[in-house]
Amino acid sequence: MGTIRRRSAHGWEGVTAKAYPAFPGVEKHELTEGQGYRVRYFHVPAGGHTALERHPHDHSVVILAGRARVTLGEAIAEAGEGDVVYVEGDELHCFEALGEQDLGFICVAPPRPPG
């Protein structure tokens, strides 16, 4: 049966936030695992950032709170609430929280490769 995961003060009921090694305080919340995709939420404290990385799988990001400086290949751009970022497979990327507000975004990715 389907489920409803309710937002709570610090995340979602039934979801344990995982620390993310790129920067202290960055959290990953695994929200759903669907038919060929995963939906996660990343919380990045003000001044923090995700890993600067590239890998074969892509990402679709929807920014829910704060402003981001986004590295996308050789480009750097700013993005804010409601903006949608598509990161291609093998594209260098990083999301950095700009200003004094925490950054929060949904990140959809294909399933982890086996192994």
Q: To the nearest whole angstrom, how small is the minimum distance from the Cβ of residue 13 to a second copy? A: 9
**Catalytic residues, which ones?**
107
Q: Is 49 in the site for a second copy (CB under 8 A)?
A: no
- Asked if 98 interacts with a second copy (CB under 8 A), we say no
User: Tokens representing 93?
Assistant: 């990327």
Q: Which residues contact 87 (CB under 8 A, 6 or more apart)?
A: 58, 59, 60, 61, 72, 93
Angstrom distance (rounded) from CA 34 to CA 25: 27
Site residues (CB under 8 A) for a second copy?
1-7, 12, 31-32, 34-37, 39, 57-60, 62, 64, 70, 72-73, 75, 77, 79-89, 91, 93, 106, 108-111
